[in-house]
Chain A
Amino acid sequence: GAGVSQSPSNKVTEKGKDVELRCDPISGHTALYWYRQSLGQGLEFLIYFQGNSAPDKSGLPSDRFSAERTGGSVSTLTIQRTQQEDSAVYLCASSLRGRGRRTDTQYFGPGTRLTVL
Chain B
Amino acid sequence: GDSVTQMEGPVTLSEEAFLTINCTYTATGYPSLFWYVQYPGEGLQLLLKATKADDKGSNKGFEATYRKETTSFHLEKGSVQVSDSAVYFCALSDQDTGNQFYFGTGTSLTVIP
Contacts and interface: CB of A to CB of B under 8 A. Distances in A.
A96 B112 CA distance: 38
Given A107-B46, A110-B42, A42 B103 contact: yes
Given A91-B44, A111-B43, A106 B101 contact: yes
Contacts of B106: 42-43
Contact of A108 (B32, B44, B95, B98): B44
Interface residues of B, number: 21
Contact of B99 (A93, A98, A107, A108): A98
B100 interface: yes
Given A33-B101, A41-B105, A108-B36, A103 B44 contact: no
> Majority SS of interface residues in chain A?
loop
Contact of A101 (B44, B51, B99, B104): B99
Given A42-B89, A110-B42, A104 B36 contact: no
Given A45-B100, A101-B99, 11 more contacts: A6-B43, A41-B105, A42-B89, A42-B106, A98-B99, A100-B95, A103-B32, A103-B93, A104-B93, A105-B46, A111-B42
Interface of A: 4, 6, 33, 41-43, 45, 48, 56, 91, 93, 98-111
